[in-house]
Every structure is written in C-alpha cells, then in structure tokens.
C-alpha cells in the first residue's frame, strides 16, 4: 500500500510534469514541421483526468521539444476519427500514425496473442504489470515483435490504467451470482466478453463514447472500467453501485504504423521512443493517483461502494477466470505456451 507521504510526492511529480505541458504548449519553433504525427484515441482530452490523455499531451510536448519543432504532433481525442477498431484499421492502412491500443480489443481485431495482457486475475498489482509491459522486457518484447511481424503495427510504449471494476444500476454485486441476468457492457473484445459471460451476465458490447448514454437510458444495466475511466467519463452520474472486484488489469499500448516509423530518420525514431518512455511514466503515475483519489469522487456522487473480502475475491476469480483462460488456450495459437511464459515472468517480477 502506498503511504500518504509517498502518494503526495508521486502526485506532485506527475502534476508538475503534466503541468509543464501547458506551460510550454505555446512555444513557437523557428523550424517548420517536417513530419506530422496524427494521434487518434477514444478518451477525453483532459490530461489531468485521464492517463491516456496525459500520455499524449506529454508525448507531444517532449517530442516537439526534442526535435525543435521538426515534428508536429496533432491529437484527435474523444473518438473524433472513429472508434478504437476504426483507429486500428487506419493505423494498419497508414491513414493515421498513432493511437492507443487496448490489448483485448487489439487482440480481437488483429493479433490474438496480445489479449493475454488483459486475461482476468493474472497480474497481482500495477507495478508488476508495468515492469513486464516495458519494451525491453523479454516477454513483452516477444509479444510486441509478434504483433509487428503479423500486422505491421508497432508498440512504442505501454502503461497500465489500473484494475477494472464493476458498476451497475440494479443491485450491489457481492458475488458473481449477483451478475446473473444483468445487461453488462464490455468492450468488443473476446477476453472481456468471455470474462463477463462466465458470471451469467448478458454481455452487450458498446462503443466507449456511447456508453454514458447507454447507461443513462437503460440500454445496459452496468459496465466495468478502472476508477479513473469511470470518473473521466462521469459514469458515476448514471450508476448506483460499484464493486471493487479488480477482475482485469487495464493495460494500454501505444501503437504506430511500423512502415511509417521505419521510414523516418534514425534520430527521429530515437526521439519518438524517448518521448514515449517519458510519457509512459506520467500516464502510469497518474493512473495510480486516480486509483487513490477517485474512489472518494465516486462515493461523493452517491454511488454505493462494496469492497469484497479476500474470500469473495477468490470466488470472483474462480468463476470469471477459467472461461477466458480456456478461450485463450484453445483459440489463440500457442496460447497455453504464452500463459506459461507470462506466469513465469510474473513470478520473476514479484
């Protein structure tokens, strides 16, 4: 558990780093941009409310500074250029340069092995996941190289947004049985749908930017997301109950078109990766802060919060994990081998 003093220091560092973005965002470079990077993603644009937005704000600031304005980063948040699947296709086709990749949805859309990052109840905590998802980690490197080889999509950074938790408007969820019959939204990704379906819930895939209205109008009863996403999207305004069951660690990879990346001069490639590494520190730190402070925001909105006991969490795992693991082992090429590799890497990281 993070102490209050460490949390305060962490918050100060991250806030200062992200604030620098705003202080220098009006910098005028003498050099006209030679390269333009278009970034499209689904989350809100405010970097102080959403880790993905923080990543791209810091990335833009750092890269434009490193290159003296030779590279210009144009950011299109809030699904302006399409939903996540449309962004993946656009990157693969070279129509845009960069986006966020949710491992689950990215796995369903183009490279199934990467779904392993979001298998339920695999990672014990954020720090273990952060260490494993780094570009130089042997497990992650093999996974990302496979994605690049199979699809032409390159991972330039990765971070976590915290654990996903369940909210709904019908009743408190204290066990998997309480989910039976509820209409629960998940991303359009096999790993999420298998995890939720195992509880007996009715799974309804809905685009992220349509979810608030769907909750408000009763199209679905509930959803699952990290606390930071819940507050960034104001879901606490249209939900009554939150259960901290932490079923999936929400990983995020930043992706680009590899042919485009490799067409750039070596020094620009290096500066892109350097800026992405710095930005990932900001995003990961902000996600940890959001987990610590957004619970109070949700409670203050009138949402009833339930924290399962260790025994109850074990029951959630017993019910929700096997279906997703079986799907991964049987439907993903070398799925069982990938799981063994990840389990080994987790033990090493712990």
The pLDDT value given to residue 350: 86
- Chain centroid, CA 217 distance in Å: 26
In this prediction, residue 4 has a pLDDT band, given cuts at 50, 70 and 90, of very low
Q: Answer whether residue 25 shows pLDDT above 70.
A: no
Q: What is the pTM of this model?
A: 0.88
In this prediction, residue 17 has a pLDDT band, given cuts at 50, 70 and 90, of low
| 296 class by beta-carbon count within 10 Å (0-12 exposed, 13-18 middle, 19+ buried) | exposed
Q: Answer whether residue 8 shows pLDDT above 70.
A: no
Q: Answer whether residue 1 shows pLDDT above 50.
A: no
The pLDDT value given to residue 31: 61
Average pLDDT, the chain: 91
Q: Answer whether residue 202 shows pLDDT above 80.
A: yes
For the segment 235-284, what is each residue's pLDDT rounded down to a tens digit? 999 999 999 999 999 999 999 999 999 999 999 999 999 999 999 999 99
3-state SS assignment for residue 157 = strand
Q: Which of 259, 254, 257, 260 is nearest to 273 (CA)?
A: 254
Residue with the larger pLDDT of the pair 118 and 16: 118
Q: Which of 162, 166, 170 is nearest to 186 (CA)?
A: 166
Q: Are 312 and 175 contacting, i.e. CB atoms less than 8 angstroms apart?
A: yes
The pLDDT value given to residue 7: 46
For the segment 54-87, what is each residue's pLDDT rounded down to a tens digit? 999 999 999 999 999 999 999 999 999 998 899 9
In this prediction, residue 287 has a pLDDT band, given cuts at 50, 70 and 90, of confident
The pLDDT value given to residue 278: 96
What is the SS3 assignment for 77-107? Answer: CCCCCCCHHHHHHHHHHCCCCEEEECHHHHH
The pLDDT value given to residue 32: 81
Q: Answer whether residue 143 shows pLDDT above 90.
A: yes
The pLDDT value given to residue 288: 87
Q: Answer whether residue 289 shows pLDDT above 50.
A: yes
In this prediction, residue 123 has a pLDDT band, given cuts at 50, 70 and 90, of very high
3-state SS assignment for residue 37 = strand
Domains of the chain: 4-160+252-293 (3.40.190.170), 165-247+294-349 (3.40.190.170)
């Amino acid at each position: 558990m993070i102490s209050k003093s460490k949390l305060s220091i962490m918050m100060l560092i991250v806030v200062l780093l992200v604030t620098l973005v705003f202080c220098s965002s009006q910098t005028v470079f003498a050099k006209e941009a030679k390269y333009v990077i278009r970034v499209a993603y689904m989350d809100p644009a405010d970097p102080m409310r959403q880790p993905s937005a923080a990543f791209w704000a810091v990335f833009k600031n750092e890269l434009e500074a490193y290159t003296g304005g030779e590279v210009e980063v144009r950011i299109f948040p809030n699904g302006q250029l399409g939903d996540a699947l449309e962004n993946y296709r656009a990157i693969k086709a070279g129509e845009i340069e960069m986006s966020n990749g949710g491992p689950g949805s990215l796995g369903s859309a183009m490279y199934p092995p990467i779904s392993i990052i979001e298998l339920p109840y695999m990672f014990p905590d954020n720090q273990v996941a952060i260490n494993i998802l780094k570009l130089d980690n042997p497990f992650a490197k093999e996974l990302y190289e496979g994605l690049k080889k199979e699809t032409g999509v390159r991972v330039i950074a990765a971070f976590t947004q915290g654990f996903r938790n369940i909210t709904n408007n019908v009743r408190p969820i204290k066990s998997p049985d309480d989910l039976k019959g509820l209409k629960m939204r998940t991303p359009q990704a096999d790993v999420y749908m298998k995890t939720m379906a195992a509880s007996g819930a009715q799974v309804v895939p809905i685009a992220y930017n349509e979810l608030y209205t769907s909750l408000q109008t009763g199209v679905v009863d509930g959803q699952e997301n990290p606390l930071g996403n819940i507050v960034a999207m104001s879901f606490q305004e249209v939900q009554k109950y939150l259960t901290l069951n932490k079923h999936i660690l929400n990983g995020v990879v930043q992706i680009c078109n590899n042919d485009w990346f490799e067409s750039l001069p070596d020094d620009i490639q290096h500066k892109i990766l350097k800026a992405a590494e710095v930005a990932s520190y900001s995003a990961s730190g902000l996600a940890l802060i959001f987990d610590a402070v957004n619970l109070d925001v949700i409670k203050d909105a009138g949402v009833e919060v339930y924290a399962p006991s260790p025994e109850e969490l074990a029951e959630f795992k017993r019910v929700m994990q096997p279906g997703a693991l079986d799907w991964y082992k049987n439907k993903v090429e070398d799925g069982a081998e990938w799981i063994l590799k990840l389990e080994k890497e987790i033990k090493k990281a712990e």
